[in-house]
Structures are given as C-alpha cells and as structure tokens.
Amino acid sequence: MAEILLFHHAQGRTPGFLAFADELRAAGHTVHAPDLYEGKTFATLDEGVGHAKQIGFDTIGERCRLAVEGLPIELVYAGFSLGVMGAQELAQTRPGAKGALLFSAAFPASEFGSSWPQGVPLQIHMMETDEWAMEDLPAARELVGTIEGAELFLYPGDRHLFADSSLPDYDEGAAKLLTQRVLSFLDNIE
C-alpha cells in the first residue's frame, strides 16, 4: 500500500477533501492531509484564492515543504488545484518520490528548477473546459509528453474542483472515474 501526502485546494480542508482522503484510507493507503490554512475553509474558490494571495504563495509553499518533516521519503505526492504546487514541487525535488497525482492543475517542470525525476509515475486529472485549469493544460500536456508512462485524463465539463463532494463543482460520475483511476495508479506503486 502507498503512503500519500495530499494537499488541499484553495477552499481549504473541506468535508469533500477529507472524504476523498478517507476513501483512499479505506482502500488501505496511508494518507497525510496537512492543513495549510490553519483551520480556515472558504465557501467559494475566489475567497480561498484571495486568502492564499493574502498569506502568500511562498508561505503556502513553505508549509508544504514543512509538511514532509518526519515522514518517510518514499511518498506519493498529491494535490488539488492550489495543492498541486506543493505536490509537484516535492515530487520533483525531494528524493524518493514514489509518484504524483495532480488534480485540476499542473506546472511546467521548469517551475521547480529541475526536470521530472526518472521513474516517478504521474497522473494528471482535469476537466476539458475548466477555465481555472486552461492555463495549466499546456503544462500538463508537456509533462505527459516528456515523462514516460505519464497520464493525462480530461473529463467532459467545465468544473474545477469536481472531485470534492462538498462543493457545487462536484461531478459524481467524473469523481468516481477519477477515484477508480487513482486507486489503480496507487495499486501499481511499488
């Protein structure tokens, strides 16, 4: 079973985010889901992004890096939207990564000053016409085009946080398919 460090999106550790973490745990995986917002959650994505800007993306990045302290090096890094920043950075820069799961966002590998580590599997999940993810789609395609075995799954629709069951963006069909694909990915982690 995999050990996963899962970072939340801009709305915080919502009930739907925590339910996703629990679903992975129910499948036998160990999941760490740190709170980057010190207990705050936000009703809308705009409010959450506003909070992230207020505390600063550098601060959020530092909180992500601190979240690995005391954890084993052999982790799967995962993140939803804002949380992709920390998940992708750690997957690329912290030795021992076992894989990465990026939901609704992606960055060019060069963003974190290094290429993608050889042998680290990657899955990216986005909706086809999600306006929040549109600027990230070229980076996602570039990553998948340059990393052997990397996968990009595009779901029909325009919702951003479609896998969070507690938010209006939730899409049950897409979320179930995402979860199936994630569990299959995790089952193949050695």
- CA torsion 132-134-139-143 (nearest 10°) is 90
Task: Give the model's pLDDT for residue 190.
Answer: 75
pLDDT band of residue 116 (cuts 50, 70, 90) is very high
User: For the residues 102-131, what does the mean pLDDT come to?
Assistant: 94
Neighbours of 15 (CB within 10 A): 12
Report the percentage of the chain scoring pLDDT > 90: 96
Mean pLDDT of the chain, nearest integer: 96
Report the percentage of the chain scoring pLDDT > 70: 100
**pLDDT higher than threshold 90 for residue 114:** no
Tell me the CA distances in angstroms from 71 to 3, 83, 88, 137, one per residue in order: 9, 18, 17, 31
**pLDDT higher than threshold 80 for residue 84:** yes
> In this predicted model, what pLDDT tens digit does every residue of 158-190 receive, in sequence order?
999 999 999 999 999 999 999 999 999 999 997
**pLDDT higher than threshold 80 for residue 5:** yes
Residue 122 β-bridge partners? 100
User: For the residues 104-114, what does the mean pLDDT come to?
Assistant: 92
pLDDT band of residue 113 (cuts 50, 70, 90) is confident
CA-based nearest residue to 79, from 47, 34, 19, 130: 34
**pLDDT higher than threshold 90 for residue 62:** yes
Task: Give the model's pLDDT for residue 91.
Answer: 96
